[in-house]
């Protein structure tokens, strides 16, 4: 009996999704829960599993199309039509083609460039091309509308090596190309503009001495990983300190609803994760009830599954406070935009060693090398006063600089 595959609702406020990639083609057999396609929404990019085992008999929408939730997008187990629908043909070709570049023999002649071809590619593909002095006109594209995928360029480099016909480095990047935004990028842009429009942003920056935590982590990281099966990073320390401060200053965890203040019953901690194709904020729900080791595990798990497109619908959205780690790219500090409808967001700067003046109990000053880190909180001044932000950050700073909690 045929089974319909529908566009799932990936969150309460989601009304549509974009088909990013079909992982199977018409006529393929699929196992129950085997990944069938990838979709993109304004909340999450995710792989969608097959609801049943059987033969994929029909694909109703091709890659790049945006479809309302609960719309039938494919059929498993039905009779295959004698004439495949245009959408099915396009999706089948896109799904089948990626294997072709990898089959090119090592000794094959170098493909001739196609100077008149309009090149479609991602920033990642263009960077790989620049680094390998490669003219993208030579690379066959198997993505939608001939788009060059990461797999295409890597297969080409494996077959022919870098450089090709020794094009000038600037020829590798098709400057001046007009590329439409992805669905996720467009939604991010819309939300950032909206947040700046409705919320008067104020930013407060604190520099925190992380030396105590740096030393504790160095001493405990191997033991922690062996005992709990997860790497000990700095993020669970930061998350635990933020949760403790949010419990003491609930206004920072609140939201503005009309002319009323909604004090949330729980702390739903958002952890911003940078992806190749955008930014996503998976959520640790009821973070105030989590032990340190639980925070460590959940942060690692959510970040890993976000990058692998394995997040579930209820794991994004609904956060009440967000942490964003721009310091991983070397930033001293960032001035973050609030993740609506939250009222505050905390950006983490790079961890660096610096000379610091230390004063002892008798007032004597010495200079020492310490591990220092900037933290910048952006907050909605309609709801949070500078004094509230200062109290929150002072408490957060004190917890990190005088860490005395068990980490498990």
Q: Which residues are catalytic?
A: 381, 385
Pull the structure tokens for residue 22.
């079909």
What SS3 state is found at 346? strand
- Residue given tokens 């089974």 in the structure block: 3
Is the bond preceding 74 in cis, omega lying within 30 degrees of 0? no
CA 370 vs CA 246, 303, 355, 366: distances in Å: 27, 29, 6, 12
The helix (run of H) or strand (run of E) holding residue 372 is strand 365-380
Pairing label, strands 260-262, 321-324:
unpaired
The burial class, CB within 10 Å (0-12 / 13-18 / 19+), for 356 is: middle
The helix (run of H) or strand (run of E) holding residue 4 is strand 3-6
Count the helix, strand and coil residues of the chain and give each as a percent rounded to the nearest 5.
35, 25, 40
Rounded distance between C-alpha atoms, residue 250 and residue 255, angstroms: 10
CA nearest 61: which of 35, 14, 33, 94?
A: 94
Rounded distance between C-alpha atoms, residue 317 and residue 340, angstroms: 10
Q: What is the CA radius of gyration of the chain?
A: 25
């Amino acid at each position: 009996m045929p089974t319909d595959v529908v566009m799932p609702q990936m969150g309460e406020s989601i009304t549509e999704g974009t088909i990013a990639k079909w992982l199977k083609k018409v006529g393929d057999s699929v196992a129950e829960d085997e990944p069938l396609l990838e979709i993109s929404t304004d909340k999450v990019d995710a792989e969608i599993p097959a609801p049943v085992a059987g033969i994929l008999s029909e694909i109703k929408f091709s890659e790049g199309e945006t479809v309302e939730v609960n719309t039938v997008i494919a059929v498993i187990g039905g009779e295959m039509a004698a004439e495949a629908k245009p959408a099915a043909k396009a999706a089948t070709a896109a799904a089948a083609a990626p294997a072709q570049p990898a089959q090119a023999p090592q000794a094959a002649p170098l493909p001739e460039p196609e100077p008149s071809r309009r090149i479609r590619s991602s920033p990642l593909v263009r960077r790989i091309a620049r680094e390998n002095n490669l003219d993208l006109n030579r690379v066959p594209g198997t993505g939608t509308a001939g788009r060059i995928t990461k797999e295409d360029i890597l297969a080409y480099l494996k077959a022919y090596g870098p450089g090709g016909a020794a094009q000038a480095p600037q020829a590798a990047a098709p400057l001046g190309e007009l590329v439409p935004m992805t669905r996720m990028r467009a939604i991010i842009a819309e939300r950032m503009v909206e947040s700046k429009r409705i919320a008067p942003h104020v930013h407060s920056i604190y520099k925190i001495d992380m030396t105590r935590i740096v030393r504790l982590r160095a001493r405990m990281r191997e033991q922690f990983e062996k005992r709990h099966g997860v790497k000990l990073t700095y993020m669970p320390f930061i998350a635990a300190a933020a949760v403790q401060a949010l419990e003491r200053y609930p206004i920072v965890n609140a939201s503005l609803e009309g002319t009323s203040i909604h004090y949330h019953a729980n702390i739903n901690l958002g952890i911003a994760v940078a992806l190749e194709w955008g930014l996503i904020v998976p959520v640790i729900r009821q973070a105030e009830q989590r032990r340190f080791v639980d925070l460590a595990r959940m942060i690692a798990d959510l970040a890993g599954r976000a990058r692998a497109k394995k997040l579930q619908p209820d794991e994004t959205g609904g956060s009440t406070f967000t942490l964003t780690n721009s310091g991983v790219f070397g930033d001293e500090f960032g001035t973050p935009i609030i993740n609506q409808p939250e009222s505050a967001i905390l950006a983490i700067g790079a961890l660096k060693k610096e000379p610091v003046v230390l004063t002892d109990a008798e007032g004597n000053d010495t200079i020492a090398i310490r591990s220092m880190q900037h933290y910048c909180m952006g907050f909605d001044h309609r709801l949070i006063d500078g004094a509230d932000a200062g109290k929150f950050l002072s408490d957060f700073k004190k917890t990190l600089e005088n860490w005395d909690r068990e980490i498990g």
